[in-house]
Every structure is written in structure tokens, then in C-alpha cells.
Amino acid sequence: MTAIFDKEITHPMAWVGSDFKSKEEIVFELSAKQTKAFEDILVKVKDIARDDITLEHASHPLLDDDLKKVYNEVCHGRGIQIVRGMPVDGYSIEEIEKIYRSLCVHFGTLLSNNAFGHKMVKVMEERATGGQQSARGTKSNAELAMHNDSGDVFMLMFVQQALSGGESQFSSGPAAHNTIRRTRPDLLPILYKGFPQHRRKEQQPGQDDVTPYDIPVFAIANQPGLVSTNFTYSSIVPAMHFLGRTLTAQEEEALELMRVTLLEQQLELRMAPGEVSVANNYAMCHSRSNFVDGEDDKQRRLVLRVWTEVPNKDRLLPLGREYFLMENAGGRLGYDPVPGLDGAIGRGDYNGMTDELAAIIKATQAKPKVGAGA
């Protein structure tokens, strides 16, 4: 039998959105001198390629101690922080990416976000010929349901915000575990057993499209007094479809309860240019609302996504093959680049994916309906 954490989680990561009176409670605001420090680092790395910038380049006496505190809050505290005051105005996107990279290296080793090997991904709406939207959430303006990504720390830097919509939402996995344990403990064994997940054609040649093991939604964490969360409904349903497996009534109930609980307990944030959300990926599920870009380029939502990997002592996700979506060399998180895709642009739908599977992914990325009229 899978071990289940069978008591109330009292760790600071087990919060619900209503615990916060305002966004300001999780903001770390850079001082004017600290913002200037990032500008000084940009000058220092002007001849260094973005992906070659290391912590050695980005270390600064005005930044290091405070960013370590933010790191500790993300890994061992409430699991989420917002860094405010990153310089964006008057800089090119290439310069902004270097500034952002100089922040990110304080939060672990940057990981490839996709099979193309991109360690920093532009999240923005892009439409194919004829106006069709991609199944990739990073290239769509559609809402996204609560999910986890594939790194220890999940970071989003807002360069521009949409004309309307595009709110960021976070929800605590440990708090969801508390709620389900109180209300439907009979469903916890299903969530601890987990489900297969579809790799969306981004795995290495010779590897399976679907994980050859069930990935636990909840697991006893690599940190005392906590559970980790690894839940992506839009990877579970396509995997079941691909394998020809049918969800039992109890499995459907467990998945829907998880989806609704995360939604009802979420914290919603309106992010502004120059703000970076930093979250513990295996503690916090995240999502967004749909958005509408304006005609003005400055009202076109542009976000830079980074995943990092942290040392095992700070990791929440248990160690072991069955907890990881991808089977990367050396047991890394993220995605090992797939040979033959070097230099390709990670836009559009997933390489080699059928229209049917892309449609399933799009449909399952929508939020569950709750409340009146649901």
C-alpha cells in the first residue's frame, strides 16, 4: 500500500487564497539601489550570451542576501513570492531576458522548458494561419486550469500585461490535501496511486508517449511535514485516451474534486510589468484566466517563463523515477532537448501530435465549472 500523509498539514505552504488580505503580503520590493544593481549586471554581461550567464556573473552585494531570503521562502516557507521592481522600461527584449536570467540564477539551475532546449520561453498569444490557436498554453490566450510544470521552481516575469484578463492564479497543494482529507479521505488512495501522463511528443526517441508508470498526484514530500503535488489534468486525460484506459467512477470523482478544490482555494493576482512570480512548483499548482490583447503593442501580454532545479535538500518532490514526467539523462527535471530539433522555434502544436489529441489537450486545459450555473 502507498504511504499516505494522514494528518493535518500545518506548514506555512498549506494556505488558501482567503488567508491573504492583499498581494502585498507576498511581495519583495526591490529598492532603487537593487534595481540599479540589475542594470549594472546587464552592463557587466553585455558580451556574454544570455544562457551563459551564471550566478558568478549575477552575484551582487546588494542582492545576494535578500534573494536568498526569497529563495528560502519559496523552498521552505509559504512557497510563493513576487519580486517587484525589475527594470523593463527602455530595454530591448534581449536585454530584459539577460536581466531576468540574472535573477533566475539565484533560484537554482535553469532547465530546458521543452524539447527544443529553450531555457527561457516567451508566453504570448500566437495564432497559426487562419487564426487557429495552438494546443500549447504558452502560445494561446485561453484560460488554463490548475497544473504543475516540470521544475522545482516556476518563475514568470511580466514584461507586458494584456489589455484585459490574464490574471495569475496559484493554489496550495498541501491545503488541497487538507481539504480532501477532511471531506473525502476515501479518495486519497486514488490520488496517491496517481495516473499516467502524456508527454506530448517531447520525449527522447525510443521513449514512450505516455509515462510507463502512474505519477502520484500527492506524495509524501522530500521535506518533513509536507506532501508534494504533481497534477496536470490535461496530461492525464490524453494519456488515458492514448492507452485506451477508462477512468472508474471513483477516479473521475477524485480528479474532479482535486480540480474544484484547487480552484476554490486559489489566490488570484494581477501582475504588472517588472514583477516576477516565483513559486515552489511541486507545492503550488498554477493557472491563468483568458486574456485579450490590445491593438497597442504595449498591451500585448508578454511573459517570460523559467524553470529551475534546486539541490535535493531544498526539493519538495520525492526522488524516484515514478515522480518525474520525463526520463531525462542524469535524472534531471525539465525536458532534455530532442535531437534534430536544434534551432527550431517552439511554437504551434506539438511535433507529430494528431489533431484529435491536440483537441483533447485544449479541452482539458479549461477550468472546471463551479458555483451557480455550473
Q: What is the pLDDT of residues 261-281, one digit of tens each?
A: 999 999 999 999 999 999 999
d(CA 80, CA 64): 18
d(CA 46, CA 52): 11
Q: What is the pLDDT of residues 298-329, one digit of tens each?
A: 888 999 999 999 999 999 999 888 999 999 99
Instruction: Quickly count: other Cβ atoms within 10 Å of residue 19's Cβ.
Output: 14
pLDDT at 148: 97
Check: CB of residue 305 under 8 Å from CB of residue 159: no
Q: What is the pLDDT of residues 7-19, one digit of tens each?
A: 999 999 999 999 9
Read off the amino acid at residue 99: I
Predicted structure pTM score = 0.93
pLDDT at 158 over 90: yes
pLDDT at 346: 45
B/e letters for 117-154, b = 16+ CB within 10 Å, e = fewer, are bbbbbbbbbeeeeeeeebbbbbbbbbbbbbbbbbbbbb
What domains can you pick out in the chain, each with its CATH number? 20-327+350-364 (3.60.130.10)
B/e letters for 317-348, b = 16+ CB within 10 Å, e = fewer, are bbeeeebbbbbbeeebbbbbbbeeeeeeebee
Check: CB of residue 4 under 8 Å from CB of residue 219: no
Q: What is the pLDDT of residues 97-128, one digit of tens each?
A: 999 999 999 999 999 999 889 999 998 777 55
Residue 213 burial by Cβ neighbours in a 10 Å radius (0-12, 13-18, 19+): middle
Average pLDDT over residues 51-56: 98
C-alpha cell at 319: 526522488
pLDDT at 295 over 70: yes
d(CA 188, CA 254): 8
Average pLDDT over residues 217-226: 97
Nearest to 151 by CA among 269, 305, 24, 303: 305
- 3-state per-residue secondary structure call for 281-293: CCCEEEEECCEEC
